[in-house]
């Protein structure tokens, strides 16, 4: 098994998750403490519809983030 670390733009991860879920990219935010991928946050309305994430949901500002493999 070939496990290696790769670099990605947070926006490309958000776009891929959105595309896979038939949702707008604005409804997803990547969390990247210390420029490392840690999670994808999903923003939903009270009736569980995708919505653009508000300013209170922190946006990853790194141009590239480390995505480490999960063994």
pTM of the model: 0.84
Q: Which residues of 17-27 are buried (b: 16+ CB within 10 A; e: fewer)?
A: bbeeeebebeb
State the residue for tokens 């919505």: 51
pLDDT (tens digit per residue) in 6-39: 889 999 999 999 999 999 999 999 999 999 999 9
Q: Give the CA-trace dihedral at 17, 22, 20, 32, to 10 degrees.
A: 0
**Domain boundaries defined on the chain:** 6-67
């Amino acid at each position: 098994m070939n496990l290696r670390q790769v670099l990605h733009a947070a926006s490309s991860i958000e776009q891929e998750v959105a595309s896979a879920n038939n949702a707008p990219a604005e409804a997803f935010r990547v969390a990247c403490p210390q420029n490392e991928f840690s999670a994808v946050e999903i923003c939903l309305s009270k009736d569980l519809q995708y919505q653009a994430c508000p300013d209170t949901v922190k946006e990853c500002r790194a141009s590239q983030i480390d995505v480490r493999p999960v063994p």
